Every structure is written in C-alpha cells, then in structure tokens.
Structure 1
Amino acid sequence: MIKAIIIDDEQLARDLIKKFLSENSTVEVVAECTNGFDGAKAIAEHKPDLIFLDVQMPKLTGFEMLEIIDERPIIIFSTAFDQYAIKAFEQSAADYLLKPYSKARFQEALAKAIGQVENKQPTAATIEKVLESKQAQEQLDRVVIKNGSKILILSVDNISHFEAQDDYVAIYSEGKKYLKQLTMKYLENSLPKDQFVRVHRSFIVAIAGIDKLEPYSKDAFIAILKSGDKVSVSRSGYNALKEALNF
C-alpha cells in the first residue's frame, strides 16, 4: 500500500480527494491535517510515500511547511489561482492541481505520483527548485524556523540582523540566535528594501536596529546595533547604508 497524507484546511477539498482515492485500492490515507504545523508532525510520524498539499493555509503555508520537514515524500500540490505558485511548479516540473479540478485531472496527477513512488524517484531536488522559484518571486515578511521539536515563526520586524555561516544563515531575533539553510543572496533580494541593508558579504542588518557606526580601518566600519551586537561594514556596505539613510 502507498501511504498518503492529505494536508488542506478545507474540509470539502479533503473529502473530494478521499472520494477520488476511494476508487484506487493501492493508496491508503493515514492522516488528514488542516495546517502546515500538523502536517509537518504527521509526516514525521507516519513517513508517507505521498502527500496532497494545499498551498494557501493558515498558520503555516504549504511552502513554509516544506522548508522545515526532513522527509520529502512525493507531493501533489493543490492551489486556488496563484500565479507565483503555478510559475514555481512549472519551472520545477512538479505536478499540481489547480482548484477546482476535475476527476480526470486528479487521476492523471495520481497516476504520475504513483509511478514516482513505485520507481523510488527522488523528490528533494524537485522540491528545492519549487522553493527557490517561489522564493525568488516574493517579498519576505516572516521566516519559519525549526528549533528542535518546535516550529517558530519570526516576523522580519523582530529580526536585528543575519549572518552567513557556511551553508547556513544565523538569524538574530530578540536576543536569540537561530540557524536556517538559506543564502544571503536570497535574503538580500527578498527582504524589504526599506528595512534591511546588506552591509558586508557576511551581514545583513535591520536599518532601524543600528545604534551607531564606528570606523574600523581605512575602508571598513563597525556597526553597533541596539541589541549590543557588533557587525562588520565594508566600504560598499557603508555606501549602501548612506543611500538607505539619506546621509
């Protein structure tokens, strides 16, 4: 049997998937979830072969859930019209159902997914492409963090700065430090331009969180943040700050 989980906040949508699946004896629904928080927990517990994943959900979106799960099963996405999501799917060759969808379209997506499960087709690369494409198109207003067994949502308004650390980025928020696998380039492009400035190849800071600047050498400065942290500022970063602060 192929184990499946349905993650969708709409009861009617979940019922429709179960109705269509009832005609296929090879797929067993082992859990239903109404949001990404519960979806992440169910995936860790049941380790499904296949998930039906809604994109727009309260608490945690489908994309945000994918950022924090360790297991990456085969996924059939579903969404009401969302031009950015659809573009992300098409650029990554991931299969998706555009609500409302027909039984024939559902069966087509299911057949493709079953084939991928049976052939043990890896999905990690496809999901990474979906996330990269989606991230490239949107402005970031919050960051989802998996901290041990906890899932945290950090508003960018509460983040003082970001620091590159090998393959990860350290995120500093309200006196605490969190690690997430992101790139500084993605953050530089996606964070609100009126709130954050990249001041160094290793640092992006919240403009409002800067207390003062001190010279460090001929071509470099140190930014003293209101949090007490000190951040390196390169010559180009100093110029970017001057432009952002209009001085």
Structure 2
Amino acid sequence: MVGKRANVSESLRALGVAVGLLIAGLAVSVVFGVVFTVPLVLFGPAVGSPGGFLVLAAAGQLAFLAVGYLYVRRHEGVRVRWPTRRDVRYMVGGLVVTLVAALGLSVLFASLGLAPEGSVFEDPITADPRVALGLAALSVVLVAPAEELLFRGAIQGRLRRSFGPAVAIALSSLVFGSIHLLNFTGSVVGALTGVAVVTVGGVVFGTIYERTGNLLVPIVTHGSYNALLLVATFLTV
C-alpha cells in the first residue's frame, strides 16, 4: 500500500512538473514579448510589421529555450552528441514520416471539412513572402532547438522517469501540440485538427529521441520539417 501511494505521488509530481514547465514557458514568453515590444515601439520596426512579427516570434522561442535550459541543467541533463550514421538515418526517416503523416492527416481533415481555416502566419507572409524565409531560418536556428529542449529534453525526460518512454512520448506530445492551439484561426474544431497534426509530429520527434538518445536528432528533424513547409509556402505565395 505504501509503495502504491508512493508511485501515485511520484506520477502526480511528474505531471505537475510537466504542466508547470508548460506554464512557465508560456509565462516567460509573455514577459519576453513585452520586453521585446518596448524597443520595437521606440525604435522600430513597427510591432505589426513583418520584421516586428519575426522579432516577437523569436522572443517566444527564447523563452522556451531559457525555461528548458534552466530545468535540464538542474534536474535532467540532455543527451547531445555529433550524429552517427544511425542518427542520420533516424533524422531522414523521421522527416519523411512526419511529412507523410502531416500530409495524410491534412488531406483527411480537409476532405471531412475539418481543416483549420488559417493560421496566424498567413497575414504576415501574405504582406511580405520573405517572412516565410525568415521563419524557416528561425525554425532551424532557434525554434527547433528551443522546443525540443523544453518538450523532449525537459518534459519528456521528466515524464520518462515516472511513466517510461512510451507514456512520456504520448504525454509530452500532447503538451507540445497544445501550445500550438492559438497558431490556428477559425473554428475550434479546425484548430484542434491542426493541433492533432502537430501532436503526431511530436510523437515522431519523441520517438526518434528515445531511439537514438541524442537530442540533436529531433532538433534537426523538427527544424528541417518546419523549414521545408515554410520554403514551400514562400514558393507558392
């Protein structure tokens, strides 16, 4: 009985840490957004301009990077090394699986009339298609490292200790998907289908991290996936 209570307590603690890290990431993101907005207002570019949009996007990701780094440095540590040939195979395979899954789900949801109506990126990219290229570069150098450090390195790492890798991947992917909810515009159902696509991507990233033990693998896969989609958007605008 005592052992069972201890297990329940540990599981609840792990879930609490995961939720706490998410809330901390969002809270620090708001703070960073305010801090970065001040120089934009004072010195430009305008907050609503393409340049301002990229600056504020970077601010949010810097917040995730800071929270993830501070946590893993103190509690978890992360496994990062120069990729082996096996790691590269997982990078390529993970990228292909993510692209196929995203395309398949997007086609399915569109055929059912459930696809997201749009995203918060559409207006800035329409105003200046080069924003897509800026976001692609940002994805490679900041977005993927920040999100993988927080969601795979910190959150998945903590959940793994209490639940094992499979449950940790599932739960961290749900958390990962949830933070993208406000990226989508239109109906709630459409936004949720967009979140579902992101969550599946999170499952792929989490799986290849567990299989390789190298955080650089999902970072490269995630960054490449985002960059490919954004470059394709630039070419078709």
Shared fold, TM over 0.5: no
Give 1 or 2: higher strand fraction: 1
More helix by share: 2
Report the TM-score range of the alignment, normalised by the length of the smaller protein. Answer: under 0.3
TM-score by length of 2: 0.23
Question: Could you say which structure has the greater relative contact order, defined with CA pairs below 8 angstroms and 6 or more residues apart?
Answer: 2
Instruction: Determine which structure has more spread, i.e. the larger CA radius of gyration.
Output: 1
